[in-house]
């Protein structure tokens, strides 16, 4: 016993969990071998057989679709601004960390995230052999992000609190500015929506729908619980109608029927039509999530607030909705993620979102038979977007959790 | 817009709850009149010949053309974001004629399922989407579509490796043929082989990629698809010369642009712009020499045919509601029919298809433009 080498706690834990009995050991080893074989096969394919030229040559198409090349500086500017804002918000959030219920702090994962981000940004543009100028731009964007994060963390303490309260307003302002930069106007050349595509279109449609479906969904949920019959039945009818129809039929309706109903020229661009359909569709589902949150708030809360003299609006705003939305948050984020993935249906109505672009690229005789590479790239891109949404929501949950205590103020 | 002002006068000054009905009906009437006014505006065409569609295109400043976007040779997206192909070039010719600029064009990818709906609802001005002409699509009781002249005669075909020694359909007896499951080619092949009394084994796959990789790995002796598609795939094989298309055509797929039947003036305009590029090939007018040919026609009063064609004499263009130099605009933008074919699907493209039926009538093909007079 005594001369047995003392295993590190991690190793001991590994042994306990994977090799506690002979049967366990056999199972573990065969699984490890299997996973290893799959991984080796995949790596051999990815670095040996796969030809990534299809991604490299079409990288602009995948990123922004047919957006005119001479106007693409606007998108780069927007990317840089987004990176700066992300770095700023990230750094400020980091400056006042909050432990979650288990007491672990965010920072450890945080530092890991920075390292992964920087390595990815250094390696990916190089691996894809993008043009030198574009590689440089990506590095600058990432440098800006990391720099802003560092600066915000460094100077957060000296920042006046009035200024810090303005930071969340940065995002809506940036969104509006982004819309102007993308579509033109205010002295910029107009780029018609029919020329937007790829990741740009996917993110635009998804963010538009996510932002707008939230207020509509909350109002529908409140409407469904209202005492006014017209409001209640209106909300029920809307929610049940939308939930009873598949998204693709609604998209087809929006694309093909509006032209019959409205005289020529009055119907909005079809990208906006599709974005509105996504919004209205998601709102119906979101309303039910919010309603579940509202049901979780005990009626006593509402009555207590009212008896304290708060108005209906104040009660909702100060007492009921904060609790309800906290309960509904995980379900809502799940819907946002599925909404992001639902945007791939836009390819079926002839829009060139990420999937639509991918199909178009794969139809080009120069890239026939390259579907594995293209679909894998798409999967990675979507995974990144969904992971970002998921991470953001978990951070938000932690912020809203009443059991976390601000560590320092 | 004088109507809204009149209605405003009729609106009650104190608009209490009791007056909502009046307000709503006034508003809806205003909207209705605005819509009607918009329609009335569309009716006013240029120079006597009235086409709501032409007027709409001109006021919009952009021609909207429904395309496939995913069919090599016909419409396909290049990495630089440009669409190329036969269907696309024809749209460019239309834009060049109607708007004076081939770039004033929006190419809108429409799927197989909603292409006719997008045409009927007026979402697209013209459909240039490898659409096969058929009775149901043409008939007023069917899709009520007006077809332009046939711009490409495609056909179902069969490809086999030369070393298999298959020279005709009869040689496929008892062999295995790769085919995309559920395609028209599958049904047409089965029909034809039954008619010939030949037994064969179809090997079905979900999509074209799988079908052709099975064919290349030798799992079947032949593969069937549209001839243009077969040629496109063959061009990517490591040894294209080792495979040949069998001479038989299994089905006829005449493809044409399509417009709404409701606007015959616009349909005629599209029809004659297509004829113009065909006629240009017949007379040897190319994109390169069209300017000198026009100069010749202007200088030579005896070249009556050419002068009429270019609009130096007569009013052929105006009769269609188009500018008199519409033929010049079309050819200057995209070249003549032969140039369009060569560039996109012919021997100078990656598809390397023979002209075949898509040759001028004077050279044994089916392409013919009626007289320009």
> What does the pLDDT read at residue A69?
86
- Domain boundary pick from B252, B272, B307: B252
B147 domain residue, yes or no: no
Domain that holds residue A85: 54-191
Minimal Cα–Cα distance from A369 to chain B, Å?
6
Task: Check: CB of residue B362 under 8 Å from CB of residue B281.
Answer: no
Rounded average pLDDT over A89-108? 64
B352 inside 8 A of chain A by CB: no
Rounded average pLDDT over A96-123? 70
φ, ψ of residue A406 in degrees (nearest 5) = -60, 125
The residue ranking higher by pLDDT, A167 or B274, is B274
The per-residue pLDDT for range B88-121, each reduced to its tens digit, is: 999 999 999 999 999 999 999 887 777 888 898 8
B170 domain residue, yes or no: yes
The per-residue pLDDT for range A301-326, each reduced to its tens digit, is: 889 998 999 898 899 888 899 889 88
- Domain boundary pick from A127, A161, A191: A191
The residue ranking higher by pLDDT, B289 or A121, is B289
- What's the mean per-residue pLDDT of chain B? 85
The per-residue pLDDT for range A110-155, each reduced to its tens digit, is: 778 788 888 888 888 888 888 888 888 988 999 999 999 888 888 8
B262 domain residue, yes or no: no
Count of pairs with CB atoms under 8 A, one residue in A, one in B? 101
Residues A164 and A202 in one domain: no
B7-39 burial: b if 16+ Cβ within 10 Å, else e: beeeeeeeeeeeeeeeeeebeeebeebeeeeee
The per-residue pLDDT for range A276-304, each reduced to its tens digit, is: 999 999 999 999 999 999 999 998 988 99
Minimal Cα–Cα distance from B354 to chain A, Å?
18
> What does the pLDDT read at residue A70?
86
B86 domain residue, yes or no: no
- Domain boundary pick from A191, A215, A245: A191
Residues A146 and A198 in one domain: no
Residues A115 and A152 in one domain: yes
Q: What angle do CA B216, B183, B260 make, to 5 degrees?
A: 130
> What's the predicted TM-score (pTM) here?
0.79
| Overall size of chain B counted in residues | 373
Residues A262 and A274 in one domain: yes
Greatest mean pLDDT among A90-104, B13-27, B170-184: B170-184
When scoring A192, A194, A363, A372 by the number of chain B Cβ atoms within 10 A, the one with the most, hence best to mutate, is A363
> What does the pLDDT read at residue A3?
54
pLDDT band at A266 (very low <50, low <70, confident <90, very high): low
What is the domain count for chain B? Answer: 2
- Domain boundary pick from A191, A224, A251: A191
Minimal Cα–Cα distance from A267 to chain B, Å?
9
A50, A58, A99, A208, A354 from A55: Cα distances, Å: 11, 5, 41, 27, 12
Q: In the predicted model, is pLDDT for residue B9 greater than 50?
A: no
> What does the pLDDT read at residue A4?
58
Residues A219 and A360 in one domain: yes
> What does the pLDDT read at residue A202?
94
- Domain boundary pick from B191, B222, B252: B252
Domain that holds residue B32: 3-43
A8 domain residue, yes or no: no
A147, A231, A284, A321, B9 from A389: Cα distances, Å: 22, 33, 20, 22, 53
B118 with A256: Cβ contact below 8 A? yes
pLDDT band at B32 (very low <50, low <70, confident <90, very high): low
B368 domain residue, yes or no: no
Q: In the predicted model, is pLDDT for residue B134 greater than 80?
A: yes
Task: Check: CB of residue B157 under 8 Å from CB of residue B227.
Answer: yes
Task: Report the percent of chain B where pLDDT is more than 90.
Answer: 50
B231 domain residue, yes or no: yes
Residues in Cβ contact with A350 at an 8 Å cutoff, skipping those fewer than 6 apart: A255, A356, B69, B108, B109, B110, B111, B114
Residues A187 and A284 in one domain: no
Task: Report the percent of chain A where pLDDT is more than 70.
Answer: 91
Residues A298 and A384 in one domain: yes
A49 domain residue, yes or no: no
B19 domain residue, yes or no: yes
CATH code for the domain in which residue B239 is found: 3.40.190.10
> What does the pLDDT read at residue A29?
92
Q: In the predicted model, is pLDDT for residue A167 greater than 90?
A: no
Of A255, A264, A350, the CB nearest to B42: A264
The per-residue pLDDT for range B300-350, each reduced to its tens digit, is: 999 999 999 999 999 999 999 999 999 999 999 999 999 999 999 888 887
SS3 content of chain A, % helix, strand, coil (to 5): 80, 0, 20
A58 inside 8 A of chain B by CB: yes
Sheet holding B75-77, edge to edge: B70-71, B75-77, B83-84
> What does the pLDDT read at residue B31?
56
Environment class of A156 (CB within 10 Å of its CB; exposed 0-12, middle 13-18, buried 19+): middle
Cα–Cα distance for residue pair A381/A388, rounded to 1 Å: 11
The residue ranking higher by pLDDT, A211 or B114, is A211
A7 domain residue, yes or no: no
Contact list, B111 vs chain A (CB under 8 Å): 348-350
């Amino acid at each position: 016993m005594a001369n047995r080498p003392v295993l590190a706690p991690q190793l001991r834990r590994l042994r306990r969990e994977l090799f506690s009995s002979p049967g366990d050991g056999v199972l573990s080893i065969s699984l490890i071998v299997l996973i290893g074989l799959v991984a080796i096969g995949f790596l051999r394919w990815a670095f040996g057989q796969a030809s990534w030229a299809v991604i490299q040559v079409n990288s602009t198409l995948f990123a922004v679709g047919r957006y005119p090349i001479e106007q693409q500086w606007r998108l780069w500017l927007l990317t840089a601004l987004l990176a700066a804002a992300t770095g700023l918000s990230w750094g400020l959030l980091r400056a006042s960390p909050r432990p979650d219920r288990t007491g672990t702090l965010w920072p450890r994962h945080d530092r890991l995230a920075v390292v992964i981000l920087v390595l990815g940004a250094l390696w990916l543009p190089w691996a894809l052999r993008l043009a030198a100028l574009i590689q440089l731009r990506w590095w600058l964007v990432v440098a800006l992000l990391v720099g802003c994060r560092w600066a915000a963390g460094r100077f957060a303490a000296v920042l006046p609190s009035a200024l810090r309260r303005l930071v969340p307003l940065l995002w809506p302002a940036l969104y509006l500015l982004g819309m102007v930069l993308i579509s033109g106007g205010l002295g910029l050349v107009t780029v018609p929506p029919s020329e937007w595509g790829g990741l740009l279109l996917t993110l635009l449609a998804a963010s538009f729908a996510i932002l707008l479906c939230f207020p509509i969904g909350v109002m529908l949920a409140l409407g469904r619980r209202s005492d006014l019959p017209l409001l209640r039945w209106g909300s029920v009818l809307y929610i049940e109608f939308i939930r009873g129809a598949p998204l693709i039929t609604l998209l087809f309706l929006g694309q093909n029927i509006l032209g019959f109903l409205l005289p020529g020229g009055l119907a909005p661009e079809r990208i906006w039509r599709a974005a509105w359909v996504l919004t209205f569709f998601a709102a119906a589902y979101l309303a039910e999530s919010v309603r579940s949150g509202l049901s979780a708030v005990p009626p006593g809360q509402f009555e207590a607030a009212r008896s304290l003299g708060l108005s209906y609006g104040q009660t909702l705003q100060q007492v009921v909705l904060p609790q309800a939305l906290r309960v509904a948050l995980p379900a809502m984020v799940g819907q946002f993620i599925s909404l992001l993935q639902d945007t791939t249906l836009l390819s079926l109505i002839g829009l060139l979102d990420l999937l639509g672009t991918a199909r178009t690229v794969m139809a080009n005789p120069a890239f026939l038979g390259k579907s594995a590479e293209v679909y894998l790239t798409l999967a990675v891109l979507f995974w990144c977007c969904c992971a970002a949404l998921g991470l953001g929501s978990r951070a938000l949950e932690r912020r809203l959790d009443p059991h976390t205590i601000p560590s320092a103020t | 817009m004088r109507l809204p002002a009149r209605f405003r006068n009729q609106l009650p000054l104190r608009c209490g709850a009791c007056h909502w009905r009046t307000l709503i009906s006034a508003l809806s009437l205003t909207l209705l009149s605005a819509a009607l006014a918009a329609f009335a505006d569309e009716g006013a065409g240029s120079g006597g010949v009235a086409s709501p569609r032409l007027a709409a295109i001109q006021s919009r400043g952009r021609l909207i053309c429904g395309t496939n976007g995913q069919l090599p040779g016909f419409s396909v997206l290049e990495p630089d974001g440009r669409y190329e192909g036969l269907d696309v070039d024809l749209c460019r010719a239309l834009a060049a004629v109607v708007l004076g600029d081939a770039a004033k064009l929006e190419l809108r990818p429409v799927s197989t399922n909603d292409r006719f709906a997008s045409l009927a609802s007026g979402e697209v001005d013209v459909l240039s989407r490898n659409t096969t002409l058929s009775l149901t699509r043409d008939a007023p009781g069917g899709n009520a579509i007006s077809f332009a002249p046939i711009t490409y005669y495609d056909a179902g075909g069969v490809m086999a490796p030369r070393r298999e020694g298959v020279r005709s359909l009869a040689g496929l007896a008892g062999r295995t043929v790769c085919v995309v499951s559920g395609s028209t080619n599958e049904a047409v092949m089965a029909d034809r082989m039954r008619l010939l009394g030949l037994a064969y084994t179809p090997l079905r796959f979900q999509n074209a990629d799988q079908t052709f990789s099975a064919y290349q790995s030798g799992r079947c002796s032949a593969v069937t698809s549209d001839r243009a598609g077969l040629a496109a795939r063959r061009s990517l094989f490591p040894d294209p010369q080792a495979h040949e298309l069998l001479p038989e055509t299994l089905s006829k797929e005449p493809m044409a642009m399509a417009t709404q039947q409701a606007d015959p003036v616009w349909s005629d305009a599209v029809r004659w712009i297509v004829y113009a590029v065909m006629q240009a090939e017949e007379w040897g007018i190319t994109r390169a020499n069209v300017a000198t040919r026009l100069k010749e026609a202007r200088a030579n009063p005896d070249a009556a045919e050419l002068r009429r064609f270019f609009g130096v004499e007569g009013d052929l263009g105006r009769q269609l509601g188009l500018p008199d130099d519409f033929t010049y605009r079309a050819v200057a933008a995209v070249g003549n029919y032969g140039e369009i074919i060569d560039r996109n699907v012919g021997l100078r493209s990656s598809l390397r298809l023979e002209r075949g039926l898509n040759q001028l009538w004077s050279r044994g093909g089916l392409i013919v433009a009626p007289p320009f007079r």
